[in-house]
Structure formats: C-alpha cells, structure tokens
Amino acid sequence: NAGVMQNPRHLVRRRGQEARLRCSPMKGHSHVYWYRQLPEEGLKFMVYLQKENIIDESGMPKERFSAEFPKEGPSILRIQQVVRGDSAAYFCASSRGDGYTFGSGTRLTVV
C-alpha cells in the first residue's frame, strides 16, 4: 500500500507562470489536506478537500491559488502567475477521517 504520493518533488517556475502540484492520497483515504511550509516556519494549513468538495479553504490566499480533488485522479493544487513569495515546500496529507499521513512534499522554486 503506497503512501501519499506527491509529484513533482521539485518544480521550478519563472515568475508569472503556472504551477500545478499533484497529490495521490493513500488507498481508501477520501480526505486530502494541503499545507505550505515557508523557510524557517512551520507548516501552515491551506485547504481541506473531500472527493469533489472543498470543505475548508480558510488558509488559501484569496487570489491565484485553487485546489480540487476530482472524483477520479489526484488532488491538484494550482498556483497561477507565481511570484517569488510562493517559493516553499507544499505538503499534502490524506486521511480516512482521523490521523494524517503526509507525502514527501513538492518544493516549488520561483525564479
């Protein structure tokens, strides 16, 4: 049973481009969470999704960021028109309702 799979592991984007981060939850897990870790900081909650529904997006920036978890396929965190301040490690976690399992993260670098 594979763990939470995130890809790519590393992503480099120029300012103004779009970044797409993918997360495949553990088998049987229908809850997905996205967290962001800026340098020297802890993980900050961004969004919580269940299949096809956004449950809590209170941590998402109001503009340029969106997330989805379609019926089929991985969850996608999409960042449009990236800026240098978006450079961070983005972690996805999944659960069946309790107890998180985190993926290894995607490190986004905006140049």
Partner 1 sequence: DQQVKQNSPSLSVQEGRISILNCDYTNSMFDYFLWYKKYPAEGPTFLISISSIKDKNEDGRFTVFLNKSAKHLSLHIVPSQPGDSAVYFCAARKEYGNKLVFGAGTILRVKS
Q: Which residues bind partner 1 (CB under 8 A)?
A: 4, 6, 31, 33, 35, 40-45, 48, 55-56, 58-59, 91, 93, 95, 99-105
- Beta carbon nearer to partner 1, 47 or 82: 47
**Closest CB to partner 1 among 17 and 50?**
50
Strand 10-13 and strand 88-95: pairing? unpaired
Tell me whether residue 8 or residue 14 sits nearer to partner 1 (CB atom): 8
Cα–Cα nearest to 36, from 98, 102, 100, 96: 102
Residue 90 to residue 105: CA distance in whole angstroms: 5
Of 83, 106, 111, the closest CA to residue 11 belongs to 106
Give the end-to-end CA distance of the chain in Å, rounded to a whole number: 36
Q: Please report how close the Cβ of residue 16 comes to partner 1 at its closest, in angstroms.
A: 27
Least distance in angstroms from the C-beta of 76 to partner 1? 18
User: Whole-number minimum distance, CB 60 to partner 1, in Å?
Assistant: 12
Strands 19-24 and 43-50: unpaired
CB of 105 to partner 1, least distance (A): 5
